[in-house]
Structure 1
């Protein structure tokens, strides 16, 4: 059976969602009416707006909590989150061990028993009623293993302020809100077909089993969820139950999580408990209020919902690291792109005046980072600035600056890494 695909671009798909919402043919559970009106008005679709709306209920916030140890030499705690110190990756190899993998939580890590876990697949995009899958059911399906990075859309957010002098909101990540693992599980496409995927399905929305997310003003947005276009859901998305050859740790989605290669981290829902398959477009706060680009230079309604990650490169070196003059130093780092394999990395040790190619230490692959290295023998003492600039197989190269957006997403500029030669 050949299934129809959504519109060829996320922007087209987004406009179609809006038209269907305005016609009463789409749902937007947990999304404030003002946000959909803003999106619709800016898209020129503001006629015939439905007149009834149920406001989300407010509940007390859940106390945050991370299960695993967070040693100071590996992590920087950031509220409910834990950022990996990028220099701590230097000796970890190509894959990030769970002990070093960053944690992005909206609330607190739930500790769920694998033997009691069930996944419910439901919605009017199925040919029958809801279908439940246990972990044993998933293990009976063909397994797939894929190495892929997961990266928060706000990784590098603090550099908008530190490097570009621009204020942004959100967790002040440096560059450590990323990790790469070997994920093993089943293709989401196989599960959807087992559940009875209908020809008219357009959106697939996984939802986590962590507690409801309550904003600072007391608005309950419900459990974390974000729709995927059907084309992506049927492409390379995994329902993963292993990370680096072991069952998923609690902080990383035990017993099952979604892994959406190359897309922003919010798409890779942890602790997945149900998946809605819909014949009408879906909205959540995580593709309306959040994870769009807002601010000067962007449409009033914000950009289309963010999908693929951007292009970055970083040194595995502490900020303001002291380096001895007259000594040959081996500088290492990692580079990655959501669009294609990294093709090359160029390094400057003189603030960008001159550049030379670094050695790539891994075979470049789409959805995977590469480690790189170069050598430097500094002579003059004092402050110096190191730069690493990645280019991917599409020909895209990191720019000198990133256009500002108010929530600080997708920073992709060449990072000016300060060191001190002593």
Structure 2
């Protein structure tokens, strides 16, 4: 890793607190109040997204603003979002098919002409002023192909309530707010180099072309945007224009999106239209009140802005799925981590009393997941609880309980997966 993210986070948090970074989309007085309020803000702030807010004017549409079909056996719809059913992924291969990839929208999927699209780079961190690229110009640059996951920071949020009895605000995802694809595009570093970086540039902030986001209080926060430290932008960030060998579908960022490997999904801005390159620190609502950790187990004023994802595991099986007693079933699933590759996976079929190693089907790779399997022959009918826990190359193993935060981010505990053994 070419950037010390912890050091960056600590420095940026100090800048948030002492007011030396530039705010956009949030009133300065509100920001001071927000930072002074600390952990209490997440429970009361008008910036906390209300699942029904964006859907209010399209209540007759079960998935407002999503373009692609959402068959019931493939997705669970959450307002403007659609969660992939893990049972639909069984047998689909390593990469998530585009038609089964989860959808996380703040508003509606925009209709953007690839021929008319332009990417504008601007800001105090550029030597020669504003620079513009069209899609042909991007495609003419050196190509990079990278397989990586995109995962919402709130993936697993519902389990804070259902497993730990702790209510968290936001979309009640189970574990289906993740997908892995083979992305093709150009490195952001290449584009920034051609645009002409100044030596004092510190932050890079991509912005989407979807509609401005209006929160539950009616305040407009502008288009979705979130700054990246320059060191990360120059490391492995991609401007992607293909997904699994096809042009990006509308719901996944057509014609170009940002891909920030291993970081929370909000960093991978869809439908990118401009990138500010700044010589001063930046922040937006998406790295102040949103996408930070608030609560009794976190610093007063909240954690640093979230970056890397946690360790998780999921069975490719529906909850309460029926499995016949006396037959051998091949239990399959996938595990992943934002901090390193998966080294091992263990499975319990008796609620956690005994564990055994699962067989890894893939060579572990960074920024992605590994598929695994384990045979199980249930002996008698009744309810059973399956568990899977992974350990990554950074030495992190999924815990029994996840540290709570009020907005339900970064759930990493072992998920209790109920099944019904039939006679």
TM-score (norm 2): 0.92
User: What CA distance in whole angstroms lies between the structure 2 residues aligned with 1:60 and 1:96?
Assistant: 27
Give 5+ residue unaligned stretches, structure 2: 39-53, 59-63
Helix, strand or coil at the partner of 1:289: coil
Q: Residues 7, 349 of structure 1: CA spacing in aligned structure 2 closer, same or farther, 3 A cutoff?
A: closer
CA deviations over 1:296-339 (Å, ceiling 9, x no partner): 11122111000000000010000011111111000000000000
Q: Which residue of 2 aligns with 1:50?
A: none
Q: Residues 177, 238 of structure 1: CA spacing in aligned structure 2 closer, same or farther, 3 A cutoff?
A: same
31, 41, 44: which one aligns with 1:36 = 31
CA deviations over 1:72-115 (Å, ceiling 9, x no partner): 10011100011100111112110011100000000000011101
User: What CA distance in whole angstroms lies between the structure 2 residues aligned with 1:350 and 1:300?
Assistant: 40
User: What CA distance in whole angstroms lies between the structure 2 residues aligned with 1:328 and 1:346?
Assistant: 18
User: What CA distance in whole angstroms lies between the structure 2 residues aligned with 1:184 and 1:389?
Assistant: 31
Q: 1:348-387 alignment to 2 at 5 Å?
A: 348-387=348-387
Does the alignment pair 1:11 with 2:2? no
Does the alignment pair 1:301 with 2:298? no
User: What CA distance in whole angstroms lies between the structure 1 residues aligned with 2:75 and 2:11?
Assistant: 38
CA shift for structure 1 position 357: 0.3
User: What CA distance in whole angstroms lies between the structure 2 residues aligned with 1:292 and 1:98?
Assistant: 29
Helix, strand or coil at the partner of 1:241: strand
User: What CA distance in whole angstroms lies between the structure 2 residues aligned with 1:60 and 1:84?
Assistant: 20
User: What CA distance in whole angstroms lies between the structure 2 residues aligned with 1:394 and 1:218?
Assistant: 43
CA shift for structure 1 position 10: 3.4
User: What CA distance in whole angstroms lies between the structure 2 residues aligned with 1:85 and 1:233?
Assistant: 32
Q: Are the equivalent residues in 2 in contact too, given 1:7–1:13 (CA < 8 A)?
A: no
Q: Residues 40, 290 of structure 1: CA spacing in aligned structure 2 closer, same or farther, 3 A cutoff?
A: closer
CA shift for structure 1 position 13: 2.9
CA shift for structure 1 position 140: 1.0
Q: Which residue of 2 aligns with 1:419?
A: 419
CA shift for structure 1 position 62: 7.6
User: What CA distance in whole angstroms lies between the structure 2 residues aligned with 1:149 and 1:205?
Assistant: 21
Q: Are the equivalent residues in 1 in contact too, given 2:88–2:316 (CA < 8 A)?
A: yes
User: What CA distance in whole angstroms lies between the structure 1 residues aligned with 2:224 and 2:136?
Assistant: 25
CA shift for structure 1 position 9: 2.1
CA deviations over 1:196-251 (Å, ceiling 9, x no partner): 11100000000000000001110100000000001100000000000001100000
CA shift for structure 1 position 270: 0.1
User: What CA distance in whole angstroms lies between the structure 2 residues aligned with 1:219 and 1:61?
Assistant: 15
User: What CA distance in whole angstroms lies between the structure 2 residues aligned with 1:6 and 1:367?
Assistant: 17
Q: Are the equivalent residues in 2 in contact too, given 1:295–1:404 (CA < 8 A)?
A: yes
Q: Which residue of 2 aligns with 1:178?
A: 178
Q: Which residue of 1 aligns with 2:254?
A: 254
Does the alignment pair 1:103 with 2:103? yes
Q: Which residue of 1 aligns with 2:51?
A: none
Does the alignment pair 1:154 with 2:118? no
User: What CA distance in whole angstroms lies between the structure 2 residues aligned with 1:239 and 1:343?
Assistant: 29
Helix, strand or coil at the partner of 1:115: coil
CA shift for structure 1 position 42: 7.7
Q: Residues 42, 168 of structure 1: CA spacing in aligned structure 2 closer, same or farther, 3 A cutoff?
A: closer
User: What CA distance in whole angstroms lies between the structure 2 residues aligned with 1:36 and 1:136?
Assistant: 41
Helix, strand or coil at the partner of 2:22: coil
Q: Which residue of 2 aligns with 1:115?
A: 115
Helix, strand or coil at the partner of 2:175: coil
User: What CA distance in whole angstroms lies between the structure 1 residues aligned with 2:8 and 2:316?
Assistant: 34
Number of equivalent positions? 401
Q: Residues 6, 395 of structure 1: CA spacing in aligned structure 2 closer, same or farther, 3 A cutoff?
A: closer
Q: Which residue of 2 aligns with 1:203?
A: 203
Q: Residues 225, 357 of structure 1: CA spacing in aligned structure 2 closer, same or farther, 3 A cutoff?
A: same
Q: Which residue of 2 aligns with 1:395?
A: 395
Does the alignment pair 1:164 with 2:159? no
Q: Which residue of 2 aligns with 1:82?
A: 82
